[in-house]
Structures are given as structure tokens and as C-alpha cells.
């Protein structure tokens, strides 16, 4: 009788333990990293500048955490676009693209990343990339 009871309880207990282990985060987000990239796509008579800002964290969201990406895209020092996004998953990516351009222009992207827990900022990071296109 004891063996039968153990067999009957063994599988459900194993399954319950596996589900709890899977559902429990390995470790919570504790830091944030920001990454900025400026690239160009060239055509015969024009080009596009593209800025990509990414904010990420490793580990698992505890459920009360959020990542925020605030990025600013500039053309020769003049802000042409900015955006922000706050998400409960990692990474948080924002992308920007210029109009058709032909002149030599310096493009910059500044990325500011924030990690929040229960609405309070607990970490931040920033990154910057600047590239000058020689013109077409």
C-alpha cells in the first residue's frame, strides 16, 4: 500500500516541483545596458541614416520591473527625432531613419536606459554613437 501511494503521489509531486522551478525566476533584473548604433544605407544618388537604440537586462523580470529606452537622433547637432518606450520585457528597441540625404552630415544617436522596480529607478546606463557620412 505504501508503494502504491508513493507511486500515485510521486508523479504529481514531481510535476508540481518542475512547474514551480520553471515559474521561479533564475535571478531578477539588477542592471541595465544601453546600446546605440548609427548605420547608413547607400544608393546611387542618396542615402539613409539609421539609428538603433537598444536597452536590455539579463535575467528575469520579477513582475514589478520595467525597462525604459529614451533615444535621441540628431543631424549635425539638431534633434530630428526622439522617442521613448517602457516595457516589461527585454530588450526595448527604438529605431530611427532619416529622409533621403546626399550631403555630408554627422548623425548621432544618444540612448538612455533605465531600470525601474515598483516604479522607482534602480539603475541607469547610456550610450552614444556618432557617424559622419561623406555624402553622395
Range of the domain at 40: 27-133
Note whether residue 4 is domain-resident: no
Note whether residue 15 is domain-resident: no
Task: Calculate mean pLDDT across residues 110-115.
Answer: 99
Domain CATH number, residue 119: 2.60.40
Q: Between 16 and 91, where is the model more confident?
A: 91
Note whether residue 5 is domain-resident: no
Note whether residue 16 is domain-resident: no
Note whether residue 90 is domain-resident: yes
Smallest CA-to-CA distance from 112 within 129, 124, 97, 123 is with 124
pLDDT at 83: 99
Note whether residue 6 is domain-resident: no
Note whether residue 10 is domain-resident: no
pLDDT at 27: 81
Residue 14 has pLDDT above 90, yes or no: no
User: pLDDT tens-digit profile of 18-63?
Assistant: 545 455 445 899 999 999 999 999 999 999 999 999 999 999 999 9
What total number of domains does the chain contain? 1
Note whether residue 127 is domain-resident: yes
pTM of the model: 0.80
Amino acid at each position: 500500500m505504501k508503494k502504491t501511494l508513493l507511486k500515485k503521489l510521486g508523479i504529481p509531486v514531481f510535476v508540481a516541483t518542475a512547474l514551480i522551478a520553471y515559474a521561479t525566476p533564475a535571478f531578477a533584473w539588477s542592471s541595465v545596458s544601453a546600446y546605440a548604433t548609427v548605420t547608413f544605407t547607400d544608393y546611387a544618388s542618396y542615402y539613409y541614416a539609421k539609428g538603433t537604440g537598444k536597452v536590455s537586462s539579463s535575467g528575469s523580470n520579477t513582475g514589478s520591473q520595467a525597462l525604459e529606452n529614451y533615444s535621441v537622433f540628431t543631424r549635425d547637432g539638431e534633434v530630428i527625432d526622439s522617442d521613448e518606450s517602457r516595457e516589461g520585457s527585454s530588450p526595448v528597441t527604438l529605431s530611427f531613419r532619416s529622409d533621403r540625404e546626399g550631403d555630408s552630415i554627422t548623425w548621432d544617436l544618444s540612448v538612455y536606459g533605465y531600470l525601474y522596480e515598483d516604479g522607482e529607478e534602480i539603475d541607469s546606463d547610456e550610450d552614444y554613437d556618432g557617424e559622419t557620412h561623406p555624402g553622395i
